[in-house]
Every structure is written in structure tokens, then in C-alpha cells.
Amino acid sequence: MADEVDWWVAPIVNMTASRTSRAQRPLYHRLVPGSHDTQLPGSNLVTLRSLLPLFCPEDVDDPIVSDEVMANVQDIVASLSGPTTGALRVALGAIEAAGLRHGRRFSHLPPARQRRSIAGLARSRPGRRLVRSVRDVVVVAYFDRPAVKGRLGYDPAPWTAASAAARAARWGDEIQAHEVLLRTPLPRARPTP
């Protein structure tokens, strides 16, 4: 009976072990902070640059502004986890491929067809999620520029100072006690003879 079982169990065990080891390494590699590739490939950057006029105000046509936005996008992508970066790459690839319905890749379409392509992709729920995920990154990158913050009147320094003062007034003693506790070295344990 043992010989009958071995002929079909051994291949399944070997196949499962080899699949598991291959599948776990890339997943673990992607989940460890700092161990993933934080740069978008060139094709994704071309797609992103072609999306700027659709998601940002008119001044993004200026090459300096678009370069600043693209630099901010790359900084945002560098701070994302591996799976999130992968999802963003997939979303950009889907947007690029969606242009094929109009005869060319998305980044090679004229602006009017790009708008139609995005609108068509956003009609379905999965497509809408893809478009929104890319749009959110681009919009955050645009509004994170100092020039835009100045135009909006966004100056976080007064609010930060007021919040720090309120926090110190309310929990100042507890904060200082905790700092002392954290900075005080623990007594060394004496080795037992």
C-alpha cells in the first residue's frame, strides 16, 4: 500500500514545494520596506507625463512645472510599499493599453482622444479605480509644490506651532517624564557566578 501512495504523492509534494519557494521569495521581497524597486519604468513615466494635462491645471504645460510634478511623483512612488508600487504600475499599464481602442497607445494619442480614452476606462468600476489611483498620485504631486501651496495660502508653520504649544500645555509633564524614561539607561544585570 505504501508503494501505491508514493507514486502520486511524491510529485505533488515536489511540485508544491517548488511553487511555494518561487512564489514566496518575490512576495517577501516586495513586502520588506526598502527592498523593492522604487522607480517606475520609462514607459510608465511617459504615460504619467501624458496624464498631467488631464489631471492638473493649465500651468502644467510649462516644462519646468511638469518636471517638478514628475519629480514629486517619483518621490511619492519611492515612499510607497512594494505591492502599492506594483499596483500603480499595473494601473499605468492599463491606461496605456486603453488607448489601443483608439488605434494607438495612450501616450501617443492627441489630447482629445486621451480624454475620451480615460472617460471610457472610467465607466467601469475597475477602470475607475485604476484612473483614480493614478489621478490621486498626480494631484498630490502637483499640489505639493511650494508655488502652489503659496497660491493657496497653505502655510502649516503657524498651525504646527499652535498644536505643539497646546500639546505641551496639556501633556507637557507626561511628555517630559516619558522622555526621561526613554533616555535613562537600564541598570546592567550582574552576571550570576
User: Does residue 172 fall inside a structural domain?
Assistant: no
In this predicted structure, what is the pLDDT of residue 29?
A: 41
Rounded mean pLDDT, 54-65: 84
User: Does residue 100 fall inside a structural domain?
Assistant: yes
Q: What is the SS3 string spanning the chain?
A: CHHHHHHHHHHHHHHHHHHHHHHHHHHHHHHCCCCCCCCCCHHHHHHHHHHHHHHCCHHHHCHHHHHHHHHHHHHHHHHCCHHHHHHHHHHHHHHHHHHHHHCCCHHHCCHHHHHHHHHHHCCCHHHHHHHHHHHHHHHHHHHCCHHHHHHHCCCHHHHHHHHHHHHHHHHHHHHHHHHHHHHCCCCCCCCCC
User: Does residue 46 fall inside a structural domain?
Assistant: yes
User: Does residue 88 fall inside a structural domain?
Assistant: yes
User: Does residue 36 fall inside a structural domain?
Assistant: no
Using one digit for the tens of pLDDT, what is the confidence trace for 88-134? 998 999 999 988 887 889 889 998 999 998 998 889 898 899 999 99
The average confidence (pLDDT) of the chain is 79
**Considering its fold, how many domains does the chain have in total?**
1
Rounded mean pLDDT, 169-187: 89
User: Does residue 174 fall inside a structural domain?
Assistant: no
In this predicted structure, what is the pLDDT of residue 3?
A: 46
User: Does residue 139 fall inside a structural domain?
Assistant: yes
In this predicted structure, what is the pLDDT of residue 131?
A: 92
Highest-scoring range by mean pLDDT, 41-45, 58-62, 133-137: 133-137
Residue 44 has pLDDT above 90, yes or no: no
User: Does residue 19 fall inside a structural domain?
Assistant: no
In this predicted structure, what is the pLDDT of residue 38?
A: 63
